[in-house]
Structure 1
Amino acid sequence: MRKFILLIACIFGVTAFSQIKVLKNETLVEIGKENSVGLYKKDNRFTFNYQDVNTSNLNTFRSFSFLDVNGDVSELYKLVTDGFIDEPTGNVMLELPNDIIELHYEKNYGQPTVQFIQFINKNRKYVGKSQFLNKKQIDKIFGIGTTKAALYKKFVPKANTVTTYQNTQNQVAETPAVTKPADSKKKSRK
Protein backbone atom coordinates (compact mmCIF):
# COMPACT_ATOMS: atom_id res chain seq x y z
CA MET A 1 0.00 0.00 0.00
CA ARG A 2 2.88 2.38 0.78
CA LYS A 3 4.36 1.80 -2.66
CA PHE A 4 1.03 2.51 -4.32
CA ILE A 5 0.61 5.82 -2.46
CA LEU A 6 4.21 6.77 -3.26
CA LEU A 7 3.62 6.02 -6.96
CA ILE A 8 0.43 8.14 -7.05
CA ALA A 9 2.21 11.01 -5.26
CA CYS A 10 5.08 10.93 -7.77
CA ILE A 11 2.75 10.98 -10.78
CA PHE A 12 0.72 13.93 -9.47
CA GLY A 13 3.87 15.71 -8.30
CA VAL A 14 5.44 15.56 -11.78
CA THR A 15 2.36 16.89 -13.54
CA ALA A 16 1.71 19.63 -11.00
CA PHE A 17 5.24 21.08 -11.10
CA SER A 18 6.22 20.62 -14.75
CA GLN A 19 8.49 23.28 -16.21
CA ILE A 20 7.35 23.06 -19.82
CA LYS A 21 4.49 25.28 -20.86
CA VAL A 22 2.86 25.34 -24.30
CA LEU A 23 2.74 28.86 -25.74
CA LYS A 24 0.68 30.30 -28.54
CA ASN A 25 2.28 30.07 -31.94
CA GLU A 26 2.92 33.59 -33.22
CA THR A 27 2.37 33.86 -36.92
CA LEU A 28 5.14 35.62 -38.79
CA VAL A 29 4.59 36.15 -42.47
CA GLU A 30 7.71 35.97 -44.62
CA ILE A 31 7.69 38.81 -47.14
CA GLY A 32 10.91 37.72 -48.81
CA LYS A 33 14.25 36.10 -48.15
CA GLU A 34 17.57 36.01 -49.95
CA ASN A 35 20.44 33.92 -48.59
CA SER A 36 20.77 35.04 -44.96
CA VAL A 37 18.65 38.23 -45.10
CA GLY A 38 14.88 38.18 -44.72
CA LEU A 39 11.93 40.51 -44.17
CA TYR A 40 9.07 39.34 -41.95
CA LYS A 41 5.74 40.82 -40.87
CA LYS A 42 3.57 40.37 -37.81
CA ASP A 43 0.52 42.62 -37.60
CA ASN A 44 1.94 46.07 -38.43
CA ARG A 45 5.53 45.33 -37.29
CA PHE A 46 8.19 44.52 -39.86
CA THR A 47 11.44 42.76 -38.92
CA PHE A 48 14.67 42.46 -40.90
CA ASN A 49 16.61 39.36 -39.94
CA TYR A 50 20.19 38.93 -41.17
CA GLN A 51 23.34 36.93 -40.55
CA ASP A 52 25.97 39.16 -38.95
CA VAL A 53 29.15 39.05 -41.06
CA ASN A 54 30.89 41.39 -38.60
CA THR A 55 31.43 38.62 -36.01
CA SER A 56 33.82 35.70 -36.16
CA ASN A 57 30.93 33.36 -35.32
CA LEU A 58 28.95 32.90 -38.54
CA ASN A 59 25.95 31.59 -36.60
CA THR A 60 25.13 35.04 -35.21
CA PHE A 61 21.81 36.33 -36.49
CA ARG A 62 20.57 39.82 -35.70
CA SER A 63 17.39 41.71 -36.43
CA PHE A 64 15.85 45.14 -36.29
CA SER A 65 12.15 45.98 -36.26
CA PHE A 66 9.89 48.94 -36.89
CA LEU A 67 6.21 49.71 -37.32
CA ASP A 68 4.82 50.53 -40.75
CA VAL A 69 3.17 53.79 -39.71
CA ASN A 70 2.96 55.89 -42.88
CA GLY A 71 4.10 53.45 -45.53
CA ASP A 72 7.57 53.26 -44.00
CA VAL A 73 8.38 49.90 -45.63
CA SER A 74 7.60 51.26 -49.09
CA GLU A 75 9.67 54.35 -48.33
CA LEU A 76 12.58 52.20 -47.13
CA TYR A 77 12.45 50.15 -50.34
CA LYS A 78 12.40 53.35 -52.41
CA LEU A 79 15.29 54.81 -50.41
CA VAL A 80 17.41 51.66 -50.83
CA THR A 81 16.74 51.30 -54.56
CA ASP A 82 17.26 55.01 -55.25
CA GLY A 83 20.78 54.54 -53.89
CA PHE A 84 21.47 52.05 -56.69
CA ILE A 85 20.53 54.65 -59.32
CA ASP A 86 22.26 57.66 -57.75
CA GLU A 87 24.88 56.43 -55.29
CA PRO A 88 25.06 58.71 -52.22
CA THR A 89 28.42 60.22 -51.29
CA GLY A 90 28.30 58.81 -47.74
CA ASN A 91 26.30 56.35 -45.69
CA VAL A 92 22.57 57.02 -45.32
CA MET A 93 21.61 56.98 -41.63
CA LEU A 94 18.16 55.91 -40.44
CA GLU A 95 17.00 56.14 -36.84
CA LEU A 96 14.64 53.45 -35.63
CA PRO A 97 13.00 53.31 -32.18
CA ASN A 98 15.73 51.01 -30.79
CA ASP A 99 18.57 51.07 -33.32
CA ILE A 100 20.40 53.18 -35.86
CA ILE A 101 20.73 51.72 -39.35
CA GLU A 102 23.22 52.87 -41.95
CA LEU A 103 22.92 52.03 -45.63
CA HIS A 104 26.44 51.58 -46.98
CA TYR A 105 26.67 51.60 -50.79
CA GLU A 106 29.64 50.15 -52.61
CA LYS A 107 30.39 48.79 -56.07
CA ASN A 108 31.38 45.12 -56.14
CA TYR A 109 32.67 43.89 -59.51
CA GLY A 110 31.18 47.01 -61.10
CA GLN A 111 27.70 46.32 -59.72
CA PRO A 112 26.15 48.64 -57.10
CA THR A 113 25.42 46.92 -53.78
CA VAL A 114 24.13 47.95 -50.35
CA GLN A 115 24.95 46.73 -46.87
CA PHE A 116 22.81 47.24 -43.76
CA ILE A 117 24.91 48.33 -40.78
CA GLN A 118 23.09 48.18 -37.45
CA PHE A 119 24.17 50.07 -34.33
CA ILE A 120 22.45 47.95 -31.72
CA ASN A 121 20.53 49.93 -29.08
CA LYS A 122 21.89 53.13 -30.69
CA ASN A 123 25.33 52.29 -29.32
CA ARG A 124 28.26 52.66 -31.73
CA LYS A 125 30.14 50.03 -29.74
CA TYR A 126 27.89 47.14 -30.84
CA VAL A 127 27.71 46.85 -34.62
CA GLY A 128 26.08 44.25 -36.84
CA LYS A 129 26.53 44.08 -40.62
CA SER A 130 24.58 42.24 -43.29
CA GLN A 131 26.08 40.85 -46.45
CA PHE A 132 26.27 43.11 -49.51
CA LEU A 133 23.06 42.94 -51.56
CA ASN A 134 22.40 43.93 -55.16
CA LYS A 135 19.15 45.28 -56.64
CA LYS A 136 17.82 41.85 -57.59
CA GLN A 137 18.37 40.54 -54.05
CA ILE A 138 16.70 43.62 -52.50
CA ASP A 139 13.68 43.08 -54.78
CA LYS A 140 13.46 39.47 -53.61
CA ILE A 141 13.70 40.47 -49.91
CA PHE A 142 10.92 43.05 -50.31
CA GLY A 143 8.79 40.56 -52.26
CA ILE A 144 8.70 42.68 -55.42
CA GLY A 145 7.03 40.76 -58.23
CA THR A 146 5.12 38.53 -55.81
CA THR A 147 1.79 38.89 -54.05
CA LYS A 148 3.57 39.42 -50.70
CA ALA A 149 4.50 42.99 -51.66
CA ALA A 150 0.81 43.85 -51.27
CA LEU A 151 1.17 43.23 -47.52
CA TYR A 152 2.87 46.60 -47.10
CA LYS A 153 2.22 48.66 -50.22
CA LYS A 154 -0.26 51.48 -49.87
CA PHE A 155 -2.60 52.62 -52.62
CA VAL A 156 -1.21 55.73 -54.29
CA PRO A 157 -3.65 57.58 -56.55
CA LYS A 158 -2.55 58.37 -60.08
CA ALA A 159 -1.26 61.89 -60.67
CA ASN A 160 -3.62 62.58 -63.56
CA THR A 161 -6.82 61.77 -61.66
CA VAL A 162 -8.77 63.92 -59.26
CA THR A 163 -11.43 61.62 -57.85
CA THR A 164 -12.60 58.07 -58.22
CA TYR A 165 -16.27 57.22 -58.01
CA GLN A 166 -18.50 54.23 -58.64
CA ASN A 167 -21.12 54.48 -61.33
CA THR A 168 -24.47 52.68 -61.44
CA GLN A 169 -23.04 49.61 -63.19
CA ASN A 170 -20.52 49.04 -60.33
CA GLN A 171 -17.56 49.95 -62.49
CA VAL A 172 -14.88 52.27 -61.23
CA ALA A 173 -14.46 55.37 -63.34
CA GLU A 174 -11.86 58.07 -63.00
CA THR A 175 -12.35 61.73 -63.67
CA PRO A 176 -9.33 63.26 -65.36
CA ALA A 177 -7.69 66.31 -63.87
CA VAL A 178 -8.89 69.52 -65.46
CA THR A 179 -6.30 72.06 -66.43
CA LYS A 180 -6.96 75.63 -67.48
CA PRO A 181 -4.89 77.43 -70.05
CA ALA A 182 -2.69 80.14 -68.58
CA ASP A 183 -4.31 83.01 -70.47
CA SER A 184 -7.97 82.37 -71.31
CA LYS A 185 -9.33 85.92 -71.72
CA LYS A 186 -11.66 86.40 -74.68
CA LYS A 187 -11.79 89.56 -76.67
CA SER A 188 -15.23 91.05 -77.05
CA ARG A 189 -16.43 92.23 -80.45
CA LYS A 190 -18.18 95.55 -80.84
Structure 2
Amino acid sequence: MRKIILLFTCLFGISAFSQIKVLKNESVVEIGKDNSVGLYKKDDKFTINYQDLNTANLNTFRSFSFQNLNKDVSGLYELIINGFIDSPSSNIILELPNDIIELHFEKNYGQPTVQFIQYINKNRKYVGKSQFLNKKQIDKIFGRQNGKSAMYEKPSSTNAGSAGASGSKDKKTKK
Protein backbone atom coordinates (compact mmCIF):
# COMPACT_ATOMS: atom_id res chain seq x y z
CA MET A 1 0.00 0.00 0.00
CA ARG A 2 2.85 2.37 0.84
CA LYS A 3 4.44 1.69 -2.54
CA ILE A 4 1.21 2.57 -4.35
CA ILE A 5 0.84 5.83 -2.41
CA LEU A 6 4.50 6.65 -3.07
CA LEU A 7 4.01 5.95 -6.80
CA PHE A 8 0.94 8.23 -7.01
CA THR A 9 2.78 10.95 -5.11
CA CYS A 10 5.70 10.81 -7.55
CA LEU A 11 3.42 10.87 -10.61
CA PHE A 12 1.41 13.76 -9.21
CA GLY A 13 4.59 15.69 -8.41
CA ILE A 14 5.93 15.26 -11.95
CA SER A 15 2.72 16.47 -13.56
CA ALA A 16 2.42 19.42 -11.18
CA PHE A 17 5.90 20.74 -12.04
CA SER A 18 5.73 20.37 -15.81
CA GLN A 19 5.01 24.04 -16.54
CA ILE A 20 7.53 24.56 -19.34
CA LYS A 21 6.07 24.74 -22.82
CA VAL A 22 7.98 24.62 -26.07
CA LEU A 23 6.93 27.57 -28.23
CA LYS A 24 7.16 27.85 -31.98
CA ASN A 25 10.40 29.52 -33.00
CA GLU A 26 9.45 32.49 -35.16
CA SER A 27 12.34 33.79 -37.18
CA VAL A 28 13.21 37.41 -37.79
CA VAL A 29 14.64 38.24 -41.21
CA GLU A 30 17.24 40.97 -41.59
CA ILE A 31 16.40 43.18 -44.56
CA GLY A 32 19.49 45.34 -44.20
CA LYS A 33 21.89 46.77 -41.67
CA ASP A 34 24.57 49.45 -41.61
CA ASN A 35 26.66 50.09 -38.49
CA SER A 36 24.18 50.39 -35.66
CA VAL A 37 20.93 50.76 -37.64
CA GLY A 38 19.02 47.82 -39.10
CA LEU A 39 15.66 46.93 -40.65
CA TYR A 40 14.09 43.57 -39.74
CA LYS A 41 10.94 41.72 -40.79
CA LYS A 42 8.81 39.27 -38.82
CA ASP A 43 5.64 38.17 -40.62
CA ASP A 44 4.23 41.50 -41.88
CA LYS A 45 5.75 43.62 -39.11
CA PHE A 46 8.86 45.67 -39.79
CA THR A 47 11.21 46.93 -37.07
CA ILE A 48 14.01 49.47 -37.23
CA ASN A 49 16.65 48.97 -34.53
CA TYR A 50 19.24 51.64 -33.78
CA GLN A 51 21.85 52.55 -31.22
CA ASP A 52 20.54 55.48 -29.17
CA LEU A 53 23.04 58.33 -29.32
CA ASN A 54 20.90 60.43 -26.98
CA THR A 55 21.90 58.45 -23.88
CA ALA A 56 25.15 58.51 -21.96
CA ASN A 57 25.30 54.72 -22.15
CA LEU A 58 26.29 53.83 -25.72
CA ASN A 59 25.03 50.27 -25.24
CA THR A 60 21.41 51.43 -25.37
CA PHE A 61 19.56 50.11 -28.41
CA ARG A 62 16.04 51.18 -29.27
CA SER A 63 13.54 50.15 -31.91
CA PHE A 64 10.24 51.11 -33.46
CA SER A 65 7.88 48.87 -35.41
CA PHE A 66 5.05 49.18 -37.89
CA GLN A 67 2.91 47.02 -40.15
CA ASN A 68 3.35 47.12 -43.92
CA LEU A 69 -0.36 47.79 -44.54
CA ASN A 70 -0.28 50.20 -47.48
CA LYS A 71 3.26 49.58 -48.68
CA ASP A 72 4.46 51.65 -45.73
CA VAL A 73 8.06 50.38 -45.92
CA SER A 74 8.41 51.50 -49.52
CA GLY A 75 6.66 54.76 -48.61
CA LEU A 76 9.12 55.44 -45.77
CA TYR A 77 12.05 54.73 -48.07
CA GLU A 78 10.66 57.09 -50.76
CA LEU A 79 10.00 59.78 -48.14
CA ILE A 80 13.62 59.63 -46.99
CA ILE A 81 15.02 59.60 -50.55
CA ASN A 82 12.83 62.58 -51.50
CA GLY A 83 14.13 64.37 -48.40
CA PHE A 84 17.68 63.88 -49.69
CA ILE A 85 16.72 65.42 -53.05
CA ASP A 86 14.67 68.33 -51.70
CA SER A 87 15.54 68.91 -48.04
CA PRO A 88 12.42 69.84 -46.04
CA SER A 89 12.48 73.05 -44.02
CA SER A 90 11.45 71.23 -40.83
CA ASN A 91 11.35 67.67 -39.49
CA ILE A 92 8.90 65.22 -41.06
CA ILE A 93 6.70 63.81 -38.28
CA LEU A 94 5.34 60.25 -38.54
CA GLU A 95 2.88 58.76 -36.08
CA LEU A 96 3.25 55.02 -35.51
CA PRO A 97 0.99 52.86 -33.32
CA ASN A 98 3.29 53.19 -30.28
CA ASP A 99 5.72 55.99 -31.07
CA ILE A 100 6.21 59.25 -32.89
CA ILE A 101 9.14 59.35 -35.32
CA GLU A 102 10.70 62.49 -36.74
CA LEU A 103 12.90 62.42 -39.80
CA HIS A 104 15.54 65.10 -39.26
CA PHE A 105 17.40 66.08 -42.44
CA GLU A 106 20.72 67.88 -42.23
CA LYS A 107 23.77 68.35 -44.43
CA ASN A 108 26.97 66.92 -42.98
CA TYR A 109 30.15 67.81 -44.88
CA GLY A 110 27.96 68.92 -47.80
CA GLN A 111 26.20 65.55 -48.00
CA PRO A 112 22.46 65.20 -47.19
CA THR A 113 21.79 62.95 -44.20
CA VAL A 114 18.79 61.84 -42.16
CA GLN A 115 18.41 61.00 -38.48
CA PHE A 116 15.57 59.08 -36.82
CA ILE A 117 14.28 60.84 -33.70
CA GLN A 118 11.92 58.63 -31.68
CA TYR A 119 9.50 59.87 -29.06
CA ILE A 120 9.06 56.66 -27.10
CA ASN A 121 5.45 55.79 -26.28
CA LYS A 122 4.45 59.14 -27.86
CA ASN A 123 5.97 60.93 -24.86
CA ARG A 124 8.15 63.93 -25.72
CA LYS A 125 10.04 63.39 -22.46
CA TYR A 126 11.69 60.14 -23.66
CA VAL A 127 13.67 60.68 -26.84
CA GLY A 128 15.94 58.34 -28.78
CA LYS A 129 18.17 59.43 -31.67
CA SER A 130 19.92 57.37 -34.32
CA GLN A 131 23.14 58.26 -36.03
CA PHE A 132 22.99 60.42 -39.17
CA LEU A 133 22.62 58.28 -42.30
CA ASN A 134 23.47 59.13 -45.91
CA LYS A 135 21.77 57.78 -49.04
CA LYS A 136 24.16 54.85 -49.44
CA GLN A 137 23.50 53.75 -45.84
CA ILE A 138 19.71 54.10 -46.28
CA ASP A 139 19.89 51.98 -49.46
CA LYS A 140 21.78 49.32 -47.52
CA ILE A 141 19.38 49.38 -44.54
CA PHE A 142 16.28 49.15 -46.75
CA GLY A 143 17.76 46.22 -48.70
CA ARG A 144 18.17 48.06 -52.00
CA GLN A 145 21.77 46.88 -52.42
CA ASN A 146 21.31 43.21 -51.51
CA GLY A 147 17.96 42.66 -53.26
CA LYS A 148 16.04 42.01 -50.03
CA SER A 149 13.70 44.93 -50.72
CA ALA A 150 11.58 42.40 -52.65
CA MET A 151 10.61 40.98 -49.23
CA TYR A 152 8.51 44.07 -48.44
CA GLU A 153 5.46 42.87 -50.33
CA LYS A 154 6.13 39.13 -50.05
CA PRO A 155 2.99 37.41 -48.71
CA SER A 156 3.18 35.07 -45.76
CA SER A 157 3.62 31.39 -46.57
CA THR A 158 0.08 30.48 -45.47
CA ASN A 159 -1.54 32.84 -48.00
CA ALA A 160 0.90 32.19 -50.83
CA GLY A 161 -0.38 28.70 -51.64
CA SER A 162 -4.02 29.68 -51.94
CA ALA A 163 -3.26 32.86 -53.90
CA GLY A 164 -1.02 31.00 -56.33
CA ALA A 165 -3.61 28.31 -56.95
CA SER A 166 -6.42 30.74 -57.67
CA GLY A 167 -4.14 32.83 -59.87
CA SER A 168 -3.29 29.84 -62.06
CA LYS A 169 -6.97 28.94 -62.44
CA ASP A 170 -7.74 32.46 -63.61
CA LYS A 171 -5.09 32.22 -66.32
CA LYS A 172 -6.49 28.91 -67.61
CA THR A 173 -10.06 30.21 -67.86
CA LYS A 174 -8.97 33.30 -69.78
CA LYS A 175 -7.25 31.23 -72.52
Same fold (TM over 0.5): yes
Counterpart Cα distance in 2 of 1:137 and 1:42: 22
Structure with the greater relative contact order (CA < 8 A, sep ≥ 6): 1 or 2? 2
Could you tell me the percent identity over the aligned residues?
Answer: 75
Q: Cα offset for 1:21?
A: 5.1
Counterpart Cα distance in 1 of 2:71 and 2:150: 12
Counterpart Cα distance in 2 of 1:153 and 1:26: 19
For the pair shown, the structure with the greater C-alpha radius of gyration is 1
Counterpart Cα distance in 1 of 2:47 and 2:18: 33
Equivalent residue number for residue 138 of structure 2: 138
Written as runs of structure 1 = structure 2, the 5 A alignment for 1:31-180 is 31-153=31-153
- Residues 34 and 140 of structure 1 are in contact (CA less than 8 Å); yes or no, is this contact kept in structure 2? yes
CA deviation vs aligned residue, 1:136-168 (integer Å, no higher than 9, x gap): 0000000003221101158xxxxxxxxxxxxxx
Counterpart Cα distance in 2 of 1:116 and 1:75: 15
* Larger relative helix fraction: 2
User: 5+ unaligned residues in a row in structure 1: which ranges?
Assistant: 155-169, 171-190
Counterpart Cα distance in 1 of 2:131 and 2:68: 24
Counterpart Cα distance in 1 of 2:52 and 2:37: 10
Counterpart Cα distance in 2 of 1:14 and 1:80: 57
Q: Cα offset for 1:15?
A: 9.0
Counterpart Cα distance in 2 of 1:19 and 1:137: 46
Report the aligned-residue RMSD: 2.3
Counterpart Cα distance in 1 of 2:85 and 2:134: 12
Describe the shift of the 1:153–1:83 C-alpha distance in structure 2 as closer, same or farther (beyond 3 A).
farther
| Paired amino acid for 1:139 | D
Counterpart Cα distance in 1 of 2:107 and 2:15: 60
User: 5+ unaligned residues in a row in structure 2: which ranges?
Assistant: 1-5, 155-171
Equivalent residue number for residue 178 of structure 1: none
Q: How high is the TM-score relative to the length of structure 1? A: 0.71
Describe the shift of the 1:43–1:90 C-alpha distance in structure 2 as closer, same or farther (beyond 3 A).
same
Q: Cα offset for 1:24?
A: 2.6
What is the number of residues matched between the two proteins? 150
Moved over 3 A (4+): 12-23
Q: How high is the TM-score relative to the length of structure 2? A: 0.76
